[in-house]
Chains A and B, each alone.
Chain A
Amino acid sequence: MASIIDIKEECALHVRNFEFTYKGTEAPSLKKITMPIAKHSITALIGPSGCGKTTLLRSFNRMHDLYPGNTYAGEIEFEGRNILGSKEDLIHLRTKIGMIFQKPTAFPMSIFDNVAYGLRLQGLKNKTELNDRVEKALKDAAIWKEVGERLKHDANGLSGGQQQRLCIARAIAVEPEVLLFDEPTSALDPISTQGIERLIIELKERVSIIIVTHNMQQAARVSDYTGFMYLGELIELGETEKLFVTPKEKLTQEYITGKFG
């Protein structure tokens, strides 16, 4: 019943018959989801609150494992293996699949230490290399001009938009393959939102991006593919332009024209 397009280009992730059940609940919150995620492109997940889009996003880096009792079924293929396996090295996985959260999550330390955090975790100690990588990440996240002169300052002194770009710099410093964005601009003003959106589009040169958003215009502006979710199911996945103009499913049509949600 769902309408899922077949992506011809190379894929970063393959979700197959994926189900997710929260601890203490009977029915799965995500039901039989199958979707390809194209490499070096942006896939947006849209849908009304509670449809499971954030739950799906947090499955890609297995964030649900932080809270015991949740169960996965099916398969998420990444780099030729099913990352849902019990032997999966989550620390390694999370360096390959990074995440940006809804609220900026600057750590209570200096700007430099924030960006160096992931690099140091990987054992990078060489000062020159550390400096270079931090500078590069900040430049790539389009925030170097604002903070280059005050790397030693407390990161909590930055504005919300700056903090969010700092978090992006921190995530890309470790050079992940995939970046997950969980409503990254919902706590930001329109100008900062614009900056983040521009940055996300630039980043797809190097990483594959999945973004959860409440804002359909945002999905239309930034993404190449859009998936519409409803009640834990993926109703439709298509090229963004086509999905918003000529949706194949009635539910999608109703949602994007504002009939519900």
Chain B
Amino acid sequence: MTAVQKRVVINKLALAFSTLSALIALGFLFWILGVLVMKGVSALNWNIFIFEGAPPGYAESGLKHALVGQAILIGMATAIGVPLGILAGTYLSEYGKNSKLAHTIRDISDIMMSAPSIVIGAFVYAVVVMPMGHFSAWAGAIALGIIMIPIILRTTDDMLQLVPGELREAAFALGAPKYKVILSVVYRGAKAGILTGVLLGIARVGGETAPLLFTSFNDNFFTTNLNEAMPSLTVTIFNYATSPYEDWQQLGWAAAFILSMFILGLNILGRLILLAGKKRK
């Protein structure tokens, strides 16, 4: 075998192995999605949206409590995380720039992004749940909001920095004060990117379970009281799926399916917005 033939064989082997590895990795993904769709779709019915949780064996049981609870928790977390994340990102890109403080914030934010979410849950348990004396939707939303901040902060910072400096200068040259330059020109230029960051941030916290276990905890019944424990899809999935009751397990699959579709949808939407924004330029 000549040296060239040998290299051709090695090349083909490497290609074959890496292709196979990619297929195996993707295979698991589609396996998960496949099982989820099969078990989840068959468990779907209108009762899920009409009834709240019930003891095992009751026909009139559903996920209304968890769906509404999840929506409340995500909504509140968004209200906490999005403004803080966008404003902090704006500070980094437009005011702090390359200052020491800005770099420190960026570093800490990156560390926060990879912090285990259960640690953030424990933190909120210590500073919110313990003093209040009980679990609450507030605590859950604060935990999710904190997890959201570094994601949105980073994308906002990155996206604002992509807006060309000439555009800012042109606005300044027309006599615009700095806050107007940011509000009317810089934000507009980075609109698609920031929106994508927000959607990905929501998608990220939408699947969190651990930080909710000791903040908003869970409840099998419908509630909109923010000072009480609040049901969520994720914790409900955990409770129902690990229960020995067939009908609860079915509801667990349905909840898993709905949650996955929600997060998948957010991710796809985020990417579409980014693509549309790129095409315009």
Contacts and interface: CB of A to CB of B under 8 A. Distances in A.
Contacts of A171: 173-174
Contact of B170 (A101, A121, A122, A156): A101
Interface in A101-122: 101-103, 105, 107-109, 117-118, 121-122
A66 interface: yes
Contact of A94 (B164, B172, B180): B172
Interface in A89-137: 91-95, 98-99, 101-103, 105, 107-109, 117-118, 121-122
Contacts of B191: 108
A63 interface: yes
Given A107-B188, A108-B189, A156-B280, A63 B169 contact: yes
B277 to A, nearest CB: 10
B280 A117 contact: no
A109 B188 contact: yes
Given A95-B174, A117-B174, A121-B175, A103 B189 contact: no
Interface string A64-106: 0010000000000000000000000001111100110111010
Contact of B180 (A99, A102, A121): A121
Given A154-B280, A156-B281, A92 B170 contact: no
B184 interface: yes
Contact of B175 (A63, A92, A105): A92
B185 A108 contact: yes
A107 B281 contact: no
B174 A118 contact: yes
Interface size class of chain A, counting residues whose CB lies under 8 Å from the partner chain: 20 to 34
Tell me whether chain B's interface is mostly helix, strand or loop, or mixed.
Answer: helix
A165 interface: no
Interface string B167-194: 1111111111100100011001101000
B122 to A, nearest CB: 42
Interface of A: 61, 63, 66, 91-95, 98-99, 101-103, 105, 107-109, 117-118, 121-122, 154, 156, 167, 170-171, 174
A117 B184 contact: yes
B159 to A, nearest CB: 13
B171 A99 contact: no
Contact of A118 (B175, B188, B189, B280): B175
B174 A108 contact: no
Contacts of B174: 94-95, 98, 117-118, 121, 170-171, 174
Interface size class of chain B, counting residues whose CB lies under 8 Å from the partner chain: 20 to 34
Nearest to B189: A108
A105 B280 contact: no
B173 A94 contact: yes
A94 B166 contact: no
Nearest to A154: B280
Contacts, number: 69
Contacts of A98: 173-174
A50 to B, nearest CB: 19
Given A108-B188, A117-B184, A154-B280, A63 B170 contact: no
Contacts of A103: 164, 166
B166 A105 contact: yes
Q: Most A CB atoms within 10 A — which of B168, B174, B177, B189? A: B174
A166 B197 CA distance: 32
B167 A95 contact: no
Nearest to A113: B184
Q: Most B CB atoms within 10 A — which of A66, A94, A105? A: A105
Given A108-B188, A154-B280, A101 B166 contact: yes
Nearest to A92: B175
B177 A91 contact: yes
Interface in B180-213: 180, 184-185, 188-189, 191
A101 B175 contact: no
Contacts of B280: 154, 156
Contact of A63 (B164, B172, B189): B172
A107 B166 contact: no
A94 B169 contact: no
A88 B280 CA distance: 39
A24 to B, nearest CB: 13
A99 B176 contact: no
A117 B175 CA distance: 10
Contact of A167 (B170, B184, B189): B170
B161 to A, nearest CB: 15
A122 B176 CA distance: 9
A66 B181 CA distance: 12
B193 to A, nearest CB: 12
A109 B188 CA distance: 8
Contact of A121 (B166, B167, B176): B176
Contacts of A92: 175
A99 B173 CA distance: 6
Contacts of B176: 91, 117, 121
